[in-house]
Amino acid sequence: MNNFERYIYQRTFSAADRIELYDDFRQYLLDGLSAQDTFAKLIDNYTRRGENPGNPIGKILKECSDNLKAGFSLSESLR
């Protein structure tokens, strides 16, 4: 994701979007999935299993997932 896309997504990512995403994330974790598996499931959901790879929330989640894989903590990955 380039800087322009990141700026636009930050401006359009509402509190309601964030609440829904965190609630979905929480539910997967309560079901026993790891954080990495949870990111994979959510990315699949938001990108319609890859049919809509340009979905903004899907791109944000992909970046968070990549940060987690790179060794950042979960809280750092979600920033």
Among 32-36, 40-44, 54-58, 62-66, name the one with the lowest average pLDDT: 54-58
Percent of the chain with pLDDT over 90: 51
Q: Buried b / exposed e across 36-73, counting CB within 10 Å, b at 16+?
A: eebbbbbbeebbeeeeeeebbbbbbbbebbebbeeeee
Residues 39-48: tens digit of each pLDDT = 999 999 999 8
- In the chain, how many domains are there? 1
**What pLDDT does residue 36 have?**
96
Q: What is the pLDDT of residue 62?
A: 92
Task: Residue 12: give the domain boundaries.
Answer: 3-77
Q: Is the pTM of this model over 0.85?
A: no
